[in-house]
Chain A
Amino acid sequence: MRDSKGILQNIDWITVMLYVILVAMGWTCIYAAVYNEEHNKLFDFTQNHGKQMIWIGGSILIALFLLIIDGKFYSAFSYLIYGITLALLIVVLLVGRRVKGSQSWFEIGSFKLQPAEFAKFTTTLALAKFLSNQNIKLQETKTKLRAAIILLIPITLILAQNDTGSALVYFSFIFVLYREGLSGNYLLLGFAAIVIFILSLLVDKITLVIIFSSFAFIIFMLARKNKRNIISILAVLALVSGMIFSVDYVFNHVLQEHQRTRINVLLGKETDYKDKGWNVHQSMIAIGSGGFWGKGFLKGSQTQFDFVPKQSTDFIFCTVGEEFGFVGVFVVISLFMVLLGRIIFLAERQRSPYSRIYGYGIASILFFHMMVNIGMTIGLAPVIGIPLPFFTYGGSSLWSFTMMLFVFIKLDAYRLQILR
């Protein structure tokens, strides 16, 4: 038997190494963020860095366990695992603990668990299972709807927990769907929607409509030979104008107060350094003052004197920026880029569509987390409380990302045993 040679057979060590490096760096930053004269021991389990040590130990066990499990298991039980997660998301709504306005935590003693973190992983499994079905064509509306339902159930449950950030993560699956045949127009549409949303908040609406109409007119003049183009141009223009005028409503009536403020702060329309803007302001000072080489490990004044709130969780990237400077952030971002590239490379070499789709799924989720989390710390994204993979303190997110990655590593190691 080929699979009897041990669980470490065929493992992609590059990915494992990237994982180990990122987790190690993450722990170092957590240590720096909570470090002070009183709490300077490496193994102080009352402090975040000590607890994270336990989470990391757990992650290693989880990783080994996932590698031992047969490669067929994930594909076979995708829907079941997905279903269990959905059940947990419902239960947490009933018996969960409310932390900072979000009803998203199970609390057993001092041990806290956030099912939404694991839902990302299990939804990826379910989506991969669904899309890898041989009779599936994403061009069909029926398929699109089903795929959408797989995503919308956890999104809805997570929104019900008032955890908008985690819900937004599911938008990253658009990359997976695109790879699997969804029209590129959806990608463009999504991008355009963001651009129009921002523009509508910044520029006067009438002016904006006039500008877009002028664009439409120029395009029309360039392509007037084809009559059918006129209709599509007009349709797009109507859609865009509709969006422009509905942004106000969405912004003022759908979004919550703190979300509005965060967007306004991001767009520079509010400069509230005391309250909502404080985090980002301090975070940018921390990173910006790091300079090229950084201030040195445990020497960041912003980090050591607690100027950045939530520094071992949402704003962990500040520690990298302040204490290790541009060199540090360059290394971290590069490592993420290499990891994403590696995952996509591995995904593309899979024989089974299931493994490929799953690979794209985790690449997309990692990318989205990285983009929003780092973007938030440097003022390029609104403040959305989602973790920086492998860095942010917390067992749920670390274990969830570990599971995602090691399931993929297992699938990749198992690929040769799959018959096409």
Chain B
Amino acid sequence: MNPSGNRKLIIIGIFLVVGLAFLSRLFYIQIIDKSYKLSAENNFLHHVTQYPSRGMIYDRKGKLLVYNEPIYDLMVTPKLVKVIDTMEFCRLVGISKEEFDKKLRLAKKYSKDIPSPFEKQLSKETYGALMEKLDDFSGFFVQSRTVRRYAETIAAHLLGDIGDVDSSITKTNRYYKDGDYIGKSGIEYTYEPELRGKKGSKLMMVDVRGRQMGSYENGIYDTLAVKGENLTASLDADLQSYGEALMQNKIGGIAAIEPSTGEILAMVSAPSYDPNLLVGRERAKNYEILLTDKTRPLYNRALLSAYPPGSTFKIIMALIAQQEGVLGPETRYPCAGGYPPGGGKPACHHHPSPLDLALAISYSCNSYFSYVFKSVMDQKKFTSTEESFENWRKHVLSFGYGRKLGVDLPSELSGGVPTIEHYDKVFGEGHWRSSTILSLGIGQGEMGASPLKMANAMAIVANHGYYYIPHVIKAIGDKQFQFEKYTTKNYTTVSPEHFFTVIEGMYDAVESGTASASKIKDIEICGKTGTAENPGKSHSVFFGFAPKENPKIAIAVMVEHGGWGADWAAPIAILMIEKYLKGNISRPDIEKRMLDGVVLPAIK
């Protein structure tokens, strides 16, 4: 072969080697390496979340309580941001240049490619102004969302609120993404899964500038958002509203339950707040204000507090003692102004003596129930104080005191019924007897219960010995609320026949006893006042139910530092009962006194 022929072949050889090298490389990146396919999809396919509308909440009569209002979140994709006139942008959004930089930095930290909220919940005006010029600000877009609105400014604690989901939740629950809303308290928290519905997803194609170019493959990969369920709360909005009005300028709580179902009719915690405060852009600011308020408006006293039940506890004692066989309707004990007789402690007020059980309840005799407590504790069948105490405690717990009831609201507490261990610690093992802990018998000492627990105890009395776990939901969507947990009768340790005398005594208490000043015609109300001793002025307590026959409402009222039970708690409870059962008020004088009354101790 001649030299030039060789050279021709070498040149062709070089051409071919390069051609083959390219084809090998192309074969590798096109067929073997799959990562480019993924990168291409990440480039142009964006999952756009379709947010479902959250379920609305109605009261038991179908009155709308909570609904949704559209708001607009300004979203940013940092990688695509190109803002020509930053000052103009800041002016439209209403932020400073520094805030702009800071927000963009935060968004970049989250992700450069994935959109995240830049400014949440724009006002309608801002939204409108911004939409006109959004084309000038590439990388930004507006996502429409909804916030909660409350038709009436009631039941803030019970309804609860929604807020940004915590990062602790987004880490463990894949449903939630940063920037989502989640129920934070109340019904919103408990029924989050029902209310939230199900997010949908839309696979959108975007171009290099992040502009949406239509749905991918005609939307075959899209899922529709499923609307949240509407809830019907067991709440009676009118009653709740009335309760909140009565409790204004007071501190305390009201709980009202329908005894035949366990449905919570009203749950008032005073002071309260407008639930609309915890919505929208001002949420964080308002939350801070409420959180630092010395009267603790965020604290749900009706559910979470542990007030000494005071004399109302005598009802429970009377029932336990009868069940134990140490007390009968005819049992009489003398009262000489206190126990032990002759100026002992607890002291007692002036009333006829001796009294039978019904009258002892009606007059709320401290001496009588000290005898009763001792008779329960000092039975011969027990070999030790511990044994008899444990027996007593078992009875008390069956009334729902000292343990969680299982209410469908978050953070319920067990409240206070002391334990053997507690007394062993305070007095030393074997160094305490029934007389040491005598004050338990009249609901003092270490006893503590929330208004809800007390209302539930009244439901038990109204039902002659059983209760349904109190709950706030009546229906989910179109379906009646049917959870076994809330439709099962929970029996106490006390047999039904023991309730008659107690109920008579409670009827007398309102008719002619401690609460007779507030009595009303036409409705037979059974109740019991309490004056719960505690540091400072006593708490005013009342619990009761009505009507006496076939009861419709069980209620407990607690007014902190209100003094005698008859002063505040009893009239408020009776007004509530009348409001619920009849709709109008026959004692406007009392109503006015209650509405205008101010019971605000100096807050330390």
CB–CB A287/B11 < 8 A: no
Is the CB of A310 closer than 8 A to any CB of chain B? no
Tell me if B37 and A288 are in contact (CB < 8 A): yes
Set A291, A301, A304, A378: member contacting B31, Cβ < 8 A: A291
A305 close to chain B: CB less than 8 A:
yes
Q: Find residues 337-356 in chain A having any chain B CB closer than 8 Å to their own CB.
A: 337, 340-341, 344, 348
Contacts A301-B43, A305-B44, A305-B213 given; does A378 touch B26 at CB 8 Å:
yes
Q: Determine how close the nearest CB of chain A comes to the CB of B524; give it in whole angstroms.
A: 77
Measured in the bound complex, the distance between the Cα atoms of B16 and A82 in whole Å is: 31
Within 8 A of A (CB), among B14-59: 14-16, 18-19, 21-23, 25-27, 29-31, 33, 35-37, 39-41, 43-45
Q: How far is the CB of A395 from chain B (nearest CB, A)?
A: 27
Asked if A336 and B19 sit within 8 Å, CB to CB, the answer is yes
Check A326–B30 contact: CB distance below 8 A: yes
Contact of A285 with B39 in the complex, beta carbons under 8 Å? yes
Contact present for A375 and B22 (CB under 8 Å): yes
- Of all chain A residues, the one with the shortest Cβ separation from B207 is A305
Which of B7, B25, B36 contacts A289 (CB under 8 A)? B36
B208 at the interface (CB under 8 A from A): yes
Does B206 belong to the interface (CB within 8 Å)? yes
A60-B26 Cα distance, complex, nearest whole Å:
33
Alpha-carbon distance A379/B205, docked complex (angstroms): 27
Instruction: Tell which of B23, B25, B37, B40 has the most Cβ of chain A within 10 Å.
Output: B40
In the complex, what residues of B have CB within 8 A of residue A325's CB? Answer: 30
Are B30's CB and A344's CB within 8 A? Answer: no
Q: Are B25 and A288 within 8 A (Cβ)?
A: no
Given contacts A288-B36, A289-B36, A289-B40, contact A178 B7 (CB under 8 A): yes
Interface centre among B4, B8, B26, B44 (most CB of A within 10 A): B26
How far does the Cβ of A312 sit from chain B's closest Cβ, in whole Å? 15
Known: A288-B33, A329-B23, A378-B29. A307 touches B15 (CB 8 A): no
Q: Are A288 and B30 in contact (CB under 8 A)?
A: yes
* B27 partner residues in chain A, CB cutoff 8 A: 326
Which residue on B lies nearest to A306, using beta carbons? B208
**Is the Cβ of B15 less than 8 Å from the Cβ of A178?**
no
For A, the interface residue count at a CB cutoff of 8 angstroms equals: 44
Please give, as numbers and ranges, the residues of chain A lying within 8 Å of B11 by CB-CB distance. Answer: 175, 178-179, 344, 360, 363
Min CB distance A137 to B, Å, is 14
CB of A26 closer than 8 Å to a CB of B: no
Task: Determine if A302 is an interface residue (Cβ-Cβ < 8 Å).
Answer: yes
Query: Which residues of B have CB within 8 Å of A289?
Result: 36-37, 39-41
A378 touches B7 (CB 8 A): no
Q: Which residues of B contact A178 (CB under 8 A)?
A: 7, 10-11
Bound-complex Cα distance A333 to B24 (A): 12
In the bound assembly, the distance between CA atoms of A306 and B40 in angstroms comes to 12
Q: Tell me if B26 and A329 are in contact (CB < 8 A).
A: yes
- Among the listed A288, A292, A301, A380, which residue makes an inter-chain contact with B22, where contact means beta carbons less than 8 Å apart? A380
Assess whether A290 is interfacial by the CB under 8 Å rule.
yes
Chain B residues closer than 8 Å to A360, beta-carbon distance: 11
Contacts of A380 on B, CB cut-off 8 Å?
21-22, 25
A333 lies within 8 A of B25 (CB): no
Interface residues of A in 370-420 (CB under 8 A from B): 371, 374-375, 378-380
Q: Write out the residue numbers on chain A whose beta carbons fall within 8 Å of the beta carbon of B30.
A: 287-288, 290-292, 321, 325-326, 329
Chain B interface category by residue count: 35 or more
Check A305–B208 contact: CB distance below 8 A: yes
Residues of chain A lying within 8 A (CB to CB) of residue B41: 289, 301
A301 to B4 alpha-carbon distance, docked (Å): 48
Question: Which residues on the B side are within 8 Å of A348 (C-beta)?
Answer: 8
Pairwise interchain contact A305-B19, C-beta atoms closer than 8 A: no
A105 within 8 A of B: no
With a CB–CB cut-off of 8 A, which chain A residues contact B35? 288
Report chain A residues within 8 Å CB of B22: 329, 333, 374-375, 378, 380
A330 at the interface (CB under 8 A from B): yes
Tell me if A35 is interfacial: C-beta within 8 Å of chain B. Answer: no
Which residues in B have their C-beta under 8 angstroms from that of A301? Answer: 40-41, 43-45, 205
Contact of A302 among B8, B21, B43 (CB under 8 A): B43
Interchain CA distance A306-B16 in the complex, whole Å: 32
CB neighbors of B among A130-166 (8 A):
none
Closest to B27 in A: A326
Q: Does A367 lie at the interface of the complex (its beta carbon under 8 Å from any beta carbon of B)? A: yes
Bound-state Cα–Cα, A378 to B37, Å: 15
Which residues from 196 to 220 on chain B have a C-beta closer than 8 Å to any C-beta of chain A? 205-209, 213
Query: A285 near B43 (CB under 8 angstroms)?
Result: yes
**A367 and B18 contacting across the interface, CB-CB below 8 Å:** yes
Interface residues of A in 284-315 (CB under 8 A from B): 284-292, 301-302, 304-307
User: Interface centre among B12, B22, B33, B45, by most A CB within 10 Å?
Assistant: B22
- Please measure, in the bound complex, the distance between the C-alpha atom of A360 and the C-alpha atom of B4, giving whole angstroms: 12
Report Cα–Cα, A187/B206, bound state, in Å: 48
Residues of A within 8 A of B15 (CB): 337, 340-341, 363, 367
Closest to B35 in A: A288
A179 to B18, CA, bound (A): 18
Question: Which A residues between 54 and 75 are near B, CB-CB below 8 angstroms?
Answer: none
**If the complex has contacts A301-B205, A326-B27, A378-B25, are A344 and B40 also in contact, measured as CB distance less than 8 A?**
no
Q: Closest approach, in angstroms, between the C-beta of A358 and any C-beta of chain B?
A: 15
Q: Which residues of B contact A344 (CB under 8 A)?
A: 8, 11-12
**Roughly how many angstroms separate A333 CA and B25 CA in the complex, as a whole number?**
12
A360 to B21, CA, bound (A): 22
**Nearest 8 CB-CB pairs, A to B?**
A288-B36, A289-B40, A305-B207, A288-B29, A301-B44, A306-B208, A285-B39, A289-B37
Task: List the interface of chain B (C-beta within 8 A of A).
Answer: 4, 7-8, 10-12, 14-16, 18-19, 21-23, 25-27, 29-31, 33, 35-37, 39-41, 43-45, 205-209, 213
Give me 10 A-to-B residue pairs in the complex whose CB atoms sit less than 8 angstroms apart, sorted by A's number.
A179-B8, A184-B10, A187-B10, A288-B33, A289-B41, A301-B205, A305-B206, A305-B208, A305-B213, A322-B40
